[in-house]
Amino acid sequence: MLAFTKHTPGPRPRIYISSGIHGDEPAPPIALLSLIHAGFFDDRANWFLCPVINPTGLQIGTREDHQERDLNRDFLDRKTPEIHALTRWLNRQPCFDLCICLHEDWESQGYYLYEVDRRDRPAYAAEILASVKTALPIESATTIDERPIDEPGIIRPVSDPLLRKDWPETIYLINHHTSLDYTLETPSAFTMGRRILAHKLALEAALKAAIRDFG
């Protein structure tokens, strides 16, 4: 597992971004790594980045790791070495002002997101989707992944995490490390270039909103 941090003195939002937990979703880690090389993660924020959580799955192109384990269902028990290492690293970090988990969806025809916000202030979903529209359409379905939408392209889960026998990364983060979490999903039916661009635009919009919020 790779984990990067970048700290700048002074008050700045603390932002965590992860990708590559599902090996059949290549656009998120490519987008994140290209932004690292481009210098996107500068002194506008304090950064905590995990671009390749599932390296063996990415290598063989499967959702699961090389032992057929879905790492994004292991955040309650934390039995896999990858998630055990990730959560140990997370526990050494401060609380985050914003967490973003980058994903893809092979079934969708447009970009969409999950928003979990426990703060008492305006959230960022509308700004994120507005920025993405120049690269990809927004998902138009009224039900996504068996969940009814709250707004076009936006799902706000309300289920009790304690009722789940397995936790994805988002539930772990919102219960231990942040009050604001987004899971961003590109439709894998589109070209790699458009999917990468969409995630880049979404991250830029989220950063601008976090800076405004923090100030």
3-state SS assignment for residue 98: strand
- The residue-averaged pLDDT of 106-124 equals 96
In order of 13, 47, 75, 144, 205, the CA distances from 7 in angstroms are: 10, 7, 26, 37, 20
Give the confidence band of 214 by pLDDT, cuts at 50, 70, 90: confident
3-state SS assignment for residue 53: coil
Residue 161 pLDDT > 70, yes or no?
no
3-state SS assignment for residue 183: strand
Specify the DSSP class assigned to residue 96.
B
Residue keyed to tokens 């590559």: 20
| pLDDT of 74 | 96
- The residue-averaged pLDDT of 78-107 equals 98
Per residue in 146-157, pLDDT (tens digit) is 899 999 999 999
- The residue-averaged pLDDT of 66-83 equals 97
Residues 149, 147: Cα–Cα separation, whole Å: 6
> In one letter, which amino acid is 152?
P
Residue 210 pLDDT > 90, yes or no?
yes
Q: What predicted TM-score, i.e. pTM, was given to this entire model?
A: 0.96
Domains in the chain, CATH or no CATH each: 4-214 (3.40.630.10)
Specify the DSSP class assigned to residue 45.
S
Nearest to 66 by CA among 57, 74, 58: 57
